[in-house]
Amino acid sequence: MMPQITTDIACAVARLRAGELLGLPTETVYGLAADARNPAAVAQVFALKGRPASNPLIVHVTGREQVDDWAASVPEAAEKLIAAFWPGPLTLVLPAKDSVSPVITAGQASVALRAPAHPSAQAVLAAFAGALVAPSANRYMSISPTCAAHVAQQFADADLLIVDGGACQVGLESTIVSLLDDTPRLLRSGTLDPAAIEHVLGQPLARGAAGSVRVPGQHVKHYAPNTPAFSVANVPVAAQADPRCGWLLLRPRDDIAGTVHALGNEPIAYARGLYAALYALDNAGLERIYIELPPRSEAWTAVHDRLSRASQSA
Ligand code: TXA
Ligand code: MG
């Protein structure tokens, strides 16, 4: 058995209706999608990823019109953020209806919802006419995929259909905001500017989980290549001449012997290329990977978050 890549939306939807999983492109990363109302299909997502049952899934919807099927209440703050940022890379955590499967929510009283902007995701959601759970389409703790071939690599021995939607435009997982109490909280950084979210809310965002708000599954070791990866403030001189070292740099350099990927010093473009560069370096048979740390400014927060999970500091 091996994965199959397609652009046939009708075929993809038929798989979902049959309770099977689907590799689904979104603008952030590819998802491993299943019918959110089919408990056996949802269970399969956990099984194929090797994901612990304690890590809840995001429910992907067509838009505001499906939110009341999942959320017990929709606060004014949610209405504002939905109007401003959906469809797009923003996930909202809201109080869950009793009818939402505890397998999706990992037994929490909340549910995470997102309306993706990718045209293939929208075509599948519209034709399916239901909601889809979709965690990133990688095995537990490995790198999120940003193209169909990465998904196929992750699940090389599975009979999985993958919709080819090209390379993801955003490249990092969605920003997650919890609206469970009066203080909106940023649970996961993404490429949306927190200041833009605060502007729409008319209120500051608290950072990180606190009180009854939990964000399970944000493991320190996550998104990691198999090759040992080290983040460095400066390029270590001794390794520059070693062809068995791979490099993820900001600017290209011609004084380095090993494989170099340069992602530039602009955070949005860097984010778009990050996971593909990590896949390429991880697949290159190298002994170690060095990652040059970007500047410590707010615009790089989501990139720093992912790099800290992908590497150890040297
Ligand atoms: O961009 C994305 O969000 C991608 C694409 C496929 O949509 N999906 C994604 O899913 O990144 P996943 O499963 O890799 O990450 C989902 C995160 C997890 O860290 C989980 O803990 C959090 O969302 N989450 C889900 N439901 C939650 C809830 N009720 N409360 C707090 N966090 C929740
Ligand atoms: Mg993930």
Task: Give Cβ neighbours of residue 203 (< 8 Å, ≥ 6 apart).
Answer: 77, 184
Q: Which structure tokens are listed for 136?
A: 């990133």
* 290 occurs within a structural domain: yes
Q: Percent of the chain, pLDDT > 90? A: 92
Rounded to the nearest angstrom, the distance between the alpha carbon of 144 and the centre of ligand 2 is: 6
Rounded to the nearest angstrom, the distance between the alpha carbon of 138 and the centre of ligand 2 is: 7
Q: Ion ligand 2 — residues with CB under 5 Å?
A: 136
> Which residue's CA is the nearest one to ligand 1's atom 3?
174
* 222 occurs within a structural domain: no
Q: Which atom of ligand 1 is nearest to the CA of 174?
A: 1
> Which residue's CA is the nearest one to ligand 1's atom 30?
215
Rounded to the nearest angstrom, the distance between the alpha carbon of 143 and the centre of ligand 2 is: 8
65 and 166 share a domain?
A: yes
64 and 155 share a domain?
A: yes
**Total structural domains in the chain?**
2
* 240 occurs within a structural domain: yes
158 and 301 share a domain?
A: no
193 and 94 share a domain?
A: yes
* 256 occurs within a structural domain: yes
* 212 occurs within a structural domain: no
Range of the domain at 240: 229-313
> Which residue's CA is the nearest one to ligand 1's atom 24?
56
154 and 199 share a domain?
A: yes
pLDDT (0 to 100) of residue 217: 65
Q: Of 156, 172, 207, which closes a domain?
A: 207
Closest ligand (CA of 179): 1
Pick the range with the lowest mean pLDDT from 7-16, 143-152, 217-226, 241-250. 217-226
112 and 70 share a domain?
A: yes
Where helices occur in the chain by DSSP H, the ranges are 9-17, 39-49, 76-85, 102-105, 119-128, 148-154, 194-201, 267-282, 301-310
* 103 occurs within a structural domain: yes
Give yes or no for a contact between 242 and 258, defined as CB atoms under 8 angstroms apart. yes
Q: Which structure tokens are listed for 182?
A: 């009066």
Q: What is the pTM of this model?
A: 0.96
pLDDT tens track for 50-82 = 999 999 999 999 999 999 999 999 999 999 999
Banded pLDDT at 220 (limits 50, 70, 90): low
64 and 150 share a domain?
A: yes
Closest ligand (CA of 29): 1
Sign of CA dihedral 266, 268, 271, 276: negative
Closest ligand (CA of 154): 2
**Which one of 91, 100, 163 would you pick to mutate in the ligand 1 pocket, going by the greatest count of ligand atoms within 8 A of its CB?**
91
Rounded Cα gap, residues 259 and 244, in angstroms: 8
63 and 139 share a domain?
A: yes
Q: Does residue 221 carry a pLDDT above 70?
A: no
Count of Cβ atoms closer than 10 Å to residue 295 Cβ:
12
pLDDT tens track for 265-311 = 999 999 999 999 999 999 999 999 999 999 999 999 999 999 999 99
Amino acid symbol at 172: L
* 223 occurs within a structural domain: no
pLDDT (0 to 100) of residue 212: 66
Q: Does residue 215 carry a pLDDT above 90?
A: no
Find tokens 């929510």 and name the residue. 105
The mean pLDDT of the chain is 95
CATH code (residue 36) = 3.90.870.10
Banded pLDDT at 214 (limits 50, 70, 90): confident
Rounded to the nearest angstrom, the distance between the alpha carbon of 177 and the centre of ligand 1 is: 11
180 and 255 share a domain?
A: no
Rounded to the nearest angstrom, the distance between the alpha carbon of 135 and the centre of ligand 2 is: 6
Task: Give Cβ neighbours of residue 199 (< 8 Å, ≥ 6 apart).
Answer: none
Rounded Cα gap, residues 7 and 180, in angstroms: 38
Rounded Cα gap, residues 256 and 200, in angstroms: 46
DSSP H or E segment with residue 29 = none
* Strand positions, DSSP E, the chain: 4-6, 22-24, 31-35, 58-60, 90-95, 110-114, 132-133, 161-163, 175-178, 185-188, 206-207, 229-232, 245-249, 259-262, 288-292, 312-313
Q: Of 207, 238, 260, which closes a domain?
A: 207
For ligand 1, which residues put their CB under 6 angstroms from it? 26, 28-29, 31, 55-58, 91, 93, 105, 108, 110-112, 114, 134-136, 173-174, 176, 187, 215-218
Q: Which atom of ligand 1 is nearest to the CA of 172?
A: 1
137 and 62 share a domain?
A: yes
Banded pLDDT at 210 (limits 50, 70, 90): confident
Rounded to the nearest angstrom, the distance between the alpha carbon of 218 and the centre of ligand 2 is: 9
87 and 141 share a domain?
A: yes
Rounded to the nearest angstrom, the distance between the alpha carbon of 133 and the centre of ligand 1 is: 10
**How is residue 66 annotated by DSSP?**
G
**Which one of 32, 49, 132, 136 would you pick to mutate in the ligand 1 pocket, going by the greatest count of ligand atoms within 8 A of its CB?**
136
pLDDT (0 to 100) of residue 310: 93
Count of Cβ atoms closer than 10 Å to residue 207 Cβ:
12
32 and 165 share a domain?
A: yes
Higher pLDDT, 212 or 189: 189
What are all long-range contacts of 75-81, with beta carbons under 8 Å and residues at least 24 apart?
A: 75/179, 77/179, 77/184, 77/201, 77/203, 78/179, 80/200, 80/201, 81/177, 81/179, 81/197, 81/200, 81/201
Q: Which atom of ligand 1 is nearest to the CA of 30?
A: 6
**How is residue 96 annotated by DSSP?**
B
Q: What is the mean pLDDT of residues 152-169?
A: 98
* 140 occurs within a structural domain: yes
